[in-house]
Structure 1
Amino acid sequence: MTLEIGPASPSDAEAIRSIYAFHVLNGTASFDTVPPDLPFWQDKIALITTRGWPFITCREDGRVLGYAYATQFRDRPAYARTCEDSIYVADRERGRGIGKLLLAELLKQAQACGFEQMIAVIGGGEPASVALHSGLGFVEAGRMRDVGFKFGRRLDTVYMQRSLRD
């Protein structure tokens, strides 16, 4: 089976919703506690792609196995060249290198649309996400301690950063 990376479309919203819902309900990478509904994801895909920012999926035999997108890090104009990434892989597909494929392509596409820095905001300081980002050249830029509380645990948020400039 061949993994294919390509742009997300509105028809991917349900698969994306389902992948994210699993992580919300079972993990600490997201500080959401209630999974967003289908219209939220339909709107998010439309908003990101309308702005010309990358929202991509990884598929195998037409099934969405994971997704990633980049959005401006903060709304203020001075942040226009800095983006934040978001990457989620279906639970049953973790460990296959899908996150690495998605992040590598996201870096290229974010640079192509004018971003110069990428920030990863890693909820819970998830070791797998830290390792993924480290492996693709991100360095730790800071840690906010005990800023989240989920599943009866206090959680850190790790900030990582990578330049997209040549």
Structure 2
Amino acid sequence: MEVKGKSVTIHAEGEGQTDVRAIHVATNTLKPSQRSSLLIDADTVSITADGEGARAIVAMSTGVVEVKGKATIAADNAIVARGDAKVLVNPEGKYSTVINGNVNFSYDAPTSKTPVDATVILNLVGPESSWRGNTVVSWNGKPTSVDEYLSVTGMKLGLRNS
């Protein structure tokens, strides 16, 4: 799916809710040939979510989310990814990017059992760019003892003064 325009704003909120997601892209398989994808391409992009544990962008099980344009992404967990998913924010390094919230590589044995590793590319370009948050690995319930399920190698952060 592609969303293109001058300005794109996506906002989700849920008072008293614990699972608020502005964007969720996923498949029910780990086959790369069956990826679900979302491209947002606009001059300005705002993706926000409010609520306890809110998530702005969620990509799981080979899902792909790509954001092109001057972007603001804000939620407790700005980005949640796992299971060979991809989240690309300003992948070409052309725009300023503001991220408020964590990048969370999330393991959930009861619902998924997929490893947390995913490709997350964030390019912060110019003095208007910032990131207030952390990169974390989380899990629902008891963490697995299998290291490969909790290992992240796909996080890439680019910093450049324009």
Common topology (TM > 0.5): no
TM-score computed with the length of structure 1 as normaliser: 0.29
Query: Which has the bigger relative contact order, CA under 8 A and spacing at least 6?
Result: 1
Higher strand share: 2
Higher helix share: 1
TM-score computed with the length of structure 2 as normaliser: 0.30
